[in-house]
Amino acid sequence: MPVARARLAPLIRDQDHTIGSPDAPVTLVEYGDYQCPYCGRAFPILKEVQARLGSRLRFAFRHFPLSEMHPNAEAAAEAAEAAATQDRFWPMHERLFLHQHELDHDGLLRHAAAVGADPERVARELASRVYEARVREDVTSGARSGVNGTPTFFINGVRYDGLWDAPERLIEALLAAIEPGD
């Protein structure tokens, strides 16, 4: 029975939202859902992990909205993409995770305005589903890579099945990926 660990494909694409240098020795990719409580819980932990690892880490976020469970997740993902077009992805990303209970349509537009994006443009783009295909691309890549819930993490392309409930656990795994022998 093959027990190969799920692998990320593709690793990092141009359209990915990333923080950190492409030369960083370790890349952490999260597949997440803005309405998922576990992803909300992971958000501050990931902030701390990024702060502590600094330039050694590159972080990327991809969408995996579980729309059947979370009715606002798809629109929230598309709103984040709309903000990205206005160069406000990461501020919007943070704002959405910090306001997970206000992700209805009006809430999304308020958040867009709060992070300095033009809410009318976001509203237009949400109405015409401009970013539906973009979000779907992330979901498809996640399905093919072995996403098994939200959040799912990949460290240097290999699915991380360990615990992430404290920054130390993730940091340990990330450092191990930097120096495999240790």
CB of 51 or CB of 143, closer to another protein: 143
Positions in 117-146 near another protein (CB under 8 A): 139-140, 143-146
> How do beta strands 152-155 and 26-32 pair?
antiparallel
Per CB under 8 A, 158 contacts another protein: no
Name the minimum Å distance from CB 134 to another protein.
16
CB of 109 or CB of 170, closer to another protein: 170
CB of 117 or CB of 160, closer to another protein: 160
**Half-sphere exposure (Cβ direction) of 169: Cα atoms closer than 13 Å:** 10
CB of 119 or CB of 146, closer to another protein: 146
| Whether 182 contacts 175, CB under 8 Å | yes
Per CB under 8 A, 64 contacts another protein: yes
| Whether 35 contacts 100, CB under 8 Å | yes
| Whether 20 contacts 132, CB under 8 Å | no
| Whether 174 contacts 161, CB under 8 Å | no
Q: Which residue bears the tokens 């990303």?
A: 93
Q: Exactly one of 65, 107, 119, 167 binds another protein (CB under 8 A); which one?
A: 65
Which residues sit at the interface with another protein, rule CB under 8 A? 1-3, 6-7, 64-69, 139-140, 143-150, 152, 159, 161
